[in-house]
């Protein structure tokens, strides 16, 4: 793993925001975590881009190993509901998330968004979750509990579960009409965005 998923997502947001602004498009968005949400209305201005990225930075800064936060899978659904209000038609809506969420609710929202807009889902994933070493000590944690994996079969089951989850989310493309793209934490976000979306980025 090169970065945390939150860092990779933040880099992708920055790349896309400045790319849109360089193309004289409006920039805005919904930035959320498990506890709250910030809305930046789309504007064709550097100020809007800075407001969006400042909100992203604030969320990342607030995250630390000792933070006790209950997972809130429904937050993506709430963010997509806000996006529906902002993106009436002919918008490019990019959703950057690990999509560890309420699948049915999120898919319904994305389907509605995709009826009148171009929707891209960027699935941030950690390849170490699917590429576990088969030998040596290996411990996994959910932030509170830790489990040491013993034996190659146990590790393969965990790896298969992770791979199946990513494949399932990428398969949302058929159900929602959105384009679903993988974004790995093991590689620079800038290079991946250029490759996946075929965009150049002005600095």
pLDDT digits (tens, 9 = 90+) for 180-197: 999 999 888 889 988 887
Is pTM beyond 0.85 here? no
Structural domains in the chain (count)? 1
3 versus 122: which is more confidently predicted? 122
29: left (phi over 0), alpha (psi -120 to 50) or beta: left
| Integer CA distances (angstroms), 19 to 9, 23, 100, 147, 150, in order | 15, 6, 27, 42, 46
Q: Determine, yes or no, domain membership for 203.
A: no
Structure confidence by residue, pLDDT tens digits, 6-56:
999 999 999 999 999 999 999 999 999 888 999 999 999 999 999 999 999
Q: Determine, yes or no, domain membership for 70.
A: yes
Worst-scoring range by mean pLDDT, 25-29, 72-76, 116-120, 144-148? Answer: 144-148
Residue 166 is predicted with a pLDDT of: 81
Residue 69 is predicted with a pLDDT of: 61
Q: What CATH number is attached to the domain comprising 141?
A: 3.40.50
High-pLDDT (> 70) share of the chain, %: 75
Residue 202 is predicted with a pLDDT of: 44
High-pLDDT (> 90) share of the chain, %: 49
Q: Determine, yes or no, domain membership for 202.
A: no
Structure confidence by residue, pLDDT tens digits, 56-88:
999 888 876 456 567 777 889 999 999 999 998
Cα gap 21→105, rounded to integer Å: 31
Buried b (16+ CB within 10 A) or exposed e, 125-161: bbbebbebeeeeeeeeeeeeeeeebeeeeebeebbee
- What residue numbers bound the domain in which 13 lies? 5-197
Going by pLDDT thresholds of 50, 70 and 90, the confidence category of residue 160 is low
Q: Determine, yes or no, domain membership for 24.
A: yes
Does the pLDDT of residue 92 top 80, yes or no?
A: yes
Q: What is the mean pLDDT of the chain?
A: 82
Q: Determine, yes or no, domain membership for 143.
A: yes
Q: Determine, yes or no, domain membership for 135.
A: yes
Q: Determine, yes or no, domain membership for 60.
A: yes
Q: How many CB atoms lie within 10 A of CB 174?
A: 8
Q: Determine, yes or no, domain membership for 88.
A: yes
């Amino acid at each position: 793993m090169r970065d945390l998923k939150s860092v990779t997502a933040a880099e992708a947001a920055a790349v896309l925001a400045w790319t849109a602004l360089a193309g004289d498009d409006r920039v805005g968005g919904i930035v959320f975590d498990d506890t709250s949400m910030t809305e930046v209305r789309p504007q064709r201005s550097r100020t809007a881009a800075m407001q969006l990225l400042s909100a992203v930075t604030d969320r990342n800064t607030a995250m630390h190993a000792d933070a006790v936060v209950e997972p809130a899978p429904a937050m993506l659904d709430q963010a997509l509901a806000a996006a529906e209000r902002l993106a009436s038609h002919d918008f490019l809506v990019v959703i950057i998330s690990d999509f560890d969420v309420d699948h049915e609710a999120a898919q319904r929202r994305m389907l509605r968004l995709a009826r009148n807009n171009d929707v891209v889902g960027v699935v941030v994933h950690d390849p170490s979750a699917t590429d576990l070493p088969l030998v040596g000590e290996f411990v996994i944690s959910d932030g509170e509990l830790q489990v040491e994996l013993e034996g190659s079969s146990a590790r393969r089951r965990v790896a298969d579960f992770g791979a199946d989850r990513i494949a399932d989310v990428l398969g949302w493309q058929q159900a929602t009409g959105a384009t679903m793209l993988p974004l790995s934490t093991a590689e620079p976000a800038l290079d991946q965005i250029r490759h996946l979306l075929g965009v150049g980025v002005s600095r």
